[in-house]
Amino acid sequence: MGRKGGLIFVPRNTRHAFRVDSDTAVFLNGYTPAGLELAVIGNAMVAPTRTRPPKDATPPPNLSPEHHRRYGMDNTPGATPLAPDIQQGEPS
């Protein structure tokens, strides 16, 4: 879990996901090597206003297998990292 001023490093080939449980959190998400941000840009939509989306906003669609290949990602089979039955901080 991230804390104010903290850094989270996710090694390559590690199954992971992101969830923000704060109304005020601001974070910077970077990728090395660069390239995955193109997937974010390619699947983004223009925001109608410069405000945070409402809590009930529709999440973006899942990327297709073609998108995974195009952007060097692999959708690893298994439990979703954000599944409610996984306790934070404990390995699954």
Q: What is the pLDDT of residue 85?
A: 56
What's the CA gap between 75 and 58, in Å, rounded? 21
- 43 touches 61 (CB < 8 A): yes
Q: Which of 29, 25, 19 is nearest to 3 (CA)?
A: 25
Amino acid at 42: G
Q: Which residues in the chain land under pLDDT 50?
A: 86, 88-92
Tokens of 50: 């410069």
Q: Please write down the HEC assignment for all residues of 33-84.
A: CCCCHHHHHHCCCCCCCCCCCCCCCCCCCCCCHHHHHHCCCCCCCCCCCCCC
pTM as predicted: 0.51
